[in-house]
A = this chain, B = another copy of it.
Amino acid sequence: MAAADAFTSAPDSFSWFDIVDPDGAELDRLRVAFSMHPVTVEDTMHRRQRPKVELFDEYAYVVLRPLTLTTEPEVALQEHEVHVLAGREFIVTLRWTPEFPMQGVQARWNRHPDMRQAGYAIYVLLDEVVDDYLTAVEALEDEADDLEDLVFERDGEGDADTLQQRLFRLKRDTVVLRRSAMPLRQGIDLIQEDAAITTPAMAPYFRDVMDHVIRVVELADNVRDLLTSLLEVRVAQAANRLNEAMKSMTAWAGIVLVPTLIAGIYGMNFDHMPELSWQLGYPSALGLMAGSAVGLYVYFKRRGWL
C-alpha cells in the first residue's frame, strides 16, 4: 500500500494513504490494518453514500460528495465521492472514478509540515471541497442570471421548451449541490467533538469552513427560489402571450372576413341592385373592401391588438 501513499514524502509519525478505486484486496488490508468496524467496511464497499461523519473508538469516518465543474460538452456538475478514515496517526482517503482531484489538498498539506495531524488534514480536505461548492454555486448563479435575461427578453419566445428544460436542469443541479453540502453542517460539529483527531486550536478553522457551508446552502436556496419565481413568471407570461395571440387572431379574422361579407353582398343575384350597373360599382366595392380592412387595421392597432 506504500505505493498508494501519494502524500507523505518524508518519514513521519503521521501518514496519509490515498487510494483510488480500491479493490477488494486493498479494502481488506485496510480493514485489518486500521481495525475498521464492520459497518465502515460495508459502507466503503457501496457508492452513493450520504455525506456524513461517524466517530468510532479508533478513527473517524468521513464521507464527502465533492462537486466539480466540467465544461465538456457543456457546463455541468460532476459528482465525486471521497471516503476518509482519520485516526491519531494516520489518514486514509479513498477515491473513485471520476476521481476528485486532490492536487490542491496535497499542496496545502505539504506546505504546513508543522500541522500534520488528522484534524488539519480533514480541514484542508473540507475546505477544498467547500471551495469547489462555492465555485459551483457561483456557476449556477450565472446560469440563473442568463435564464432570467432570456425569460424577460422581448422576443425570447424562440425556444420555449429548451428554456423550460434549462430552468428545470438548473433547479435539479441546485438540489444536488444543496444535498451534498447540507449534511456537512452536522458533520463539522461532530468532528470537533473528537479530541483524538482535532485540537481546540483548529476550532476557528472548522468554524470558517462551517460558515462557507452555510453560505453555499444559502446561495443555493437563493438560486432555487429565483428559479421557482422564474417558472411562475413563465406561466403568467405564456398566458399573457396567449391573450395577445388571441387578440391578434380576432383582429386579422375581422380584417379578412368583413371584405368577404361585402364581396358576398355584391355576389347576390337580386334583379334590382342599382350598384351593379353603376359604371364605378366595381372599383367602389373594391374601395369599400379596402377601406373597411384599413379601418379595422387602424382600429385594432390603436387598441393594441395588433
Which residues of A are interface residues toward B (Cβ below 8 A)? 37-39, 42-43, 49-50, 52, 54, 56, 148, 152, 154, 157-158, 160-161, 164-165, 167-168, 171-172, 175, 179, 204-205, 207-208, 211, 214-215, 218, 222, 225-226, 229-243, 245-250, 252-254, 256-261, 263-273, 275-282, 285-286, 289, 304
Contact = CB atoms under 8 A, between A and B. Distances in A.
B272 A281 contact: yes
A277 to B, nearest CB: 5
7 contacts: A50-B214, A152-B168, A242-B246, A257-B260, A263-B268, A265-B286, A271-B278
A125 B42 CA distance: 17
Given A259-B261, A266-B270, A281-B270, A240 B238 contact: yes
Most chain B beta-carbon neighbours within 10 Å: one of A154, A218, A264: A264
A285 B153 CA distance: 43
A263 B259 CA distance: 12
B279 A272 contact: yes
Most chain B beta-carbon neighbours within 10 Å: one of A207, A230, A267: A267
B240 A160 contact: yes
A250 B242 CA distance: 12
Nearest to A52: B211
B175 A222 contact: yes
Given A39-B208, A237-B164, A272-B282, A171 B222 contact: no
Contact of A230 (B168, B239, B263): B168
A237 B238 CA distance: 9
Contacts of A269: 266-269, 273, 276
Given A235-B239, A281-B272, A161 B172 contact: no
Contacts of A167: 233
A254 to B, nearest CB: 6
A237 B267 CA distance: 44
Contact of A229 (B168, B259, B275): B168
